[in-house]
Amino acid sequence: MRLSEFINGGAGCGILKRLEAGQAEADAHAVRLKQIQKNIKSDEAAMLKMATQDESYVGGVKNDYALADKLKRLQKQNLAQVVWRHKRLVATDEQLENLYRRLKRKQHERLMKHKIRR
């Protein structure tokens, strides 16, 4: 077989076509993978926005107690994992529960300390 026959679609052309088809399939798979990654990022961004979106900003600083209440409400809505902006972590139900208890305990201690001073 001559080189010109190979280039013009001779007997060995099937190998070249299969390689091109394989490359096209790999490219399509890479595009699908990028789309999936993009969807995951947008889902995380939506969860982050939902987890932190309320009127508890005071002077640009988020009120921890309002955030804890918001996280508690989200937990009750059966969202097992919530992206928490302050610590940049994915908080599980147990971590949310511990955070909520700790903040409520601190809030109570501050209130009692204030009452004792009076």
Cα three-residue angle 13-19-20, rounded to 5 degrees: 90
Residue 67: strand, helix, or coil: helix
pLDDT one-digit tens code per residue, 78-114: 544 444 444 445 556 677 677 778 888 888 888 888 7
Q: What's the whole-model pTM score?
A: 0.29
What is the chain's mean pLDDT, rounded?
65
Res 80: pLDDT: 45
Res 75: pLDDT: 62
| 25 pLDDT more than 60 | yes
- Residue 65 burial class via C-beta count within 10 angstroms: exposed 0-12, middle 13-18, buried 19 and up: middle
Res 3: pLDDT: 58
Res 63: pLDDT: 59
Res 8: pLDDT: 58
How many domains in the chain? 1
Q: How does strand 61-62 pair with strand 89-91?
A: unpaired
> What average pLDDT score do residues 68-75 get?
68
**Domain span including residue 47:** 3-117
Least confident of 4-18, 21-35, 55-69: 55-69
